[in-house]
Chains A and B, each alone.
Chain A
């Protein structure tokens, strides 16, 4: 039997089919996300223990009959990631927040502010491996002895964090209504005190979550670590020496493929994912709340 439809029914059916298809694309798009989260929670959750957070990374080893592998932990890598990201924040946060204040409070809608925002936007498009090579070429020129070090790595992470800090701070500062600035100026408060004690403090939740977002992003960056902070046998021993790192641990153990390392890498992946997703959810909530407080929220 051959079904025959009139033209209108055919169009209707086709439209219905396309609707179903768009729904299917959403499912296809979400599948990898759920798969990634599932794998990291199951495989990474399996290795979580006190020792995982405190012990050293073990000798690479895959289980054979008669061979017992050390489980070990990623203590030094957690420490290394923490320190290198803190260093990167040390350079990028003051510069980024300063640039944001300059753009919002002094640049306003003038071309200058747009140039700065544009520069930050373009900088955020620079691939992280290029940022790593930039720092390599820079340090190699001035002081080749420390080219491979925690310091170099932290500089590269700083370059990656800078545009994120700048743009999120800028957005947060712009949520403060101008009436607040006018009120402060009308009370005779000087401009710089208004900028810091009224505008910046008012926007602080937004600025801080921007910083946290940048920190989460930097913690997951493996490319610059591969170039500049690679091959460490210990955690942090000084900024002139390389240190172990969670994101890099994931890469190196995935490449080497030893079972106990891979297990630890899933654990590291779980920590990074919790950190990163936690931060991005938190930042969304905080930004929304700040905006609503100043009467611009949704």
Chain B
């Protein structure tokens, strides 16, 4: 914007006398809307804190480190679910990051020009599909494959690592949840990677080509290092989405309340714990405990999202280009 929005010049109201009241009222009304957005965000944190207060007063921060979740005996610890959340999200990113960067490279460097925009739009459709449908699809399509083929193969070939122990016939497990989460994070990471790759200056690639670099060497040494900031922001944003994902995970993770000890064993995330237990929670402190769990999840996802926005803003400033 070169000239700027004329509304922002303070003198403009002083020179006119028409309908000052209308302007004031309008400013106040829209201001209420703006305050509403900020207010809701603040309220989410405050209300969850007060909702969780009965348990916060009793357990304090030991809620975070306690390994046992046993409402019957009034013992509440979130550690296994926090671990489940971090593990599923980490494995999901391990799968989706290479796929997304590969897809972004293909869509910006190798695909025929006419195909680029359509494919990019189709990949973005993944972001629009409701998460409960991802879970439903995972349960019907992926879970049987995991139980019949993937689990036994992993146990057979990678069993020696000790990470794939336990029964192999359970299709709903941590790895299945990670795979579904990976699919769900792909559009976010691909979109941001694609945008930041496209923001790499032409001179950067041309310099590499003139030195005799092959296509891959151009991507590897000229493009990816330059676009790294934006790609990392996309990965963190995808992480934020994966950490809080509920319905898709709940349907395919198997919902078992122990500390996870194998990738092919059922597990539980903070979100799936809330989804599973909330409606059937009857013990005195169980609901405050679930509100506390939601508060912990909120803090984690907010931290990750703020980090992502910060990285993105820094990257955009650094590039001096508009990346969305």
Contacts and interface: CB of A to CB of B under 8 A. Distances in A.
Contact of B41 (A32, A123, A226): A123
B279 to A, nearest CB: 5
B128 A280 contact: yes
A201 interface: no
Nearest to A120: B37
B246 A129 contact: yes
Given A119-B41, A220-B132, A96 B100 contact: no
Contact of B51 (A103, A137, A279): A137
B306 A98 contact: no
Interface string A79-105: 000000000000000111111111111
Nearest to A133: B294
A276 B128 contact: yes
B214 interface: yes
B320 interface: no
Contact of B30 (A101, A134, A163, A189): A101
Interface string B5-38: 1111000110010110011011101111110111
Contacts, number: 317
Contacts of B134: 36
B126 A32 contact: yes
Interface stretch (B76-84, B103-111, B162-170): B103-111
A178 B214 contact: no
B241 to A, nearest CB: 8
Taking each of A26, A141, A284, which has the highest tally of chain B beta carbons within 10 Å of its own beta carbon?
A26
A131 B44 contact: yes
Interface in B255-280: 271, 274-275, 278-279
B125 interface: yes
Given A127-B271, A227-B279, A134 B47 contact: yes
B246 A127 contact: yes
B279 A29 contact: no
Taking each of A96, A131, A222, which has the highest tally of chain B beta carbons within 10 Å of its own beta carbon?
A222
B191 to A, nearest CB: 12
A262 B45 CA distance: 37
Q: Which of under 10, 10 to 19, 20 to 34, or 35 or more describes the interface residues of A?
A: 35 or more
Interface string B205-225: 000000000111101000000
Given A29-B103, A33-B126, A126 B301 contact: yes
B103 A127 contact: no
B245 interface: yes
Contacts of B298: 126-127, 130
B38 A26 contact: no
A115 B244 contact: no
Contact of B34 (A16, A99, A276): A99
Given A122-B306, A251-B135, A138 B106 contact: no
A185 interface: yes
Interface in B73-108: 98-100, 102-103, 105-107
Interface in B111-153: 111, 119, 121-126, 128-137, 139-141
Interface in A7-39: 11-12, 14-16, 18-19, 21-26, 28-30, 32-33, 35-36, 39
B244 A130 contact: yes
A5 interface: no
B283 interface: no
B137 A222 contact: no
Main SS of chain B's interface residues?
Answer: helix
A126 B44 contact: yes
Interface in B267-323: 271, 274-275, 278-279, 287, 290-291, 294, 297-298, 301-302, 304-306, 308-309
Given A127-B244, A133-B291, A162 B40 contact: yes
Interface in B232-249: 240-241, 243-247
B33 A19 contact: no
Contacts of A108: 4-5, 7-8
Contact of A99 (B13, B37, B183, B214): B37
B130 A222 contact: yes
Given A12-B214, A133-B274, A178-B5, A190 B132 contact: no
B33 A36 contact: no
Contact of B132 (A21, A100, A105, A250): A250
B43 interface: yes
B201 to A, nearest CB: 20
A141 B133 contact: no
A29 B99 contact: yes
30 contacts: A22-B110, A23-B106, A23-B110, A24-B102, A25-B102, A40-B137, A97-B33, A108-B7, A109-B1, A109-B8, A119-B38, A127-B271, A130-B301, A133-B51, A133-B291, A133-B294, A134-B47, A136-B51, A137-B291, A140-B51, A159-B40, A178-B4, A181-B5, A182-B6, A192-B19, A195-B30, A226-B278, A251-B247, A254-B140, A272-B130
7 closest cross-chain pairs (CB), A and B: A98-B33, A127-B244, A220-B130, A137-B51, A25-B102, A192-B26, A125-B305
Given A106-B30, A130-B297, A195-B30, 8 more contacts: A30-B123, A108-B7, A119-B41, A125-B308, A128-B244, A129-B297, A137-B50, A269-B136
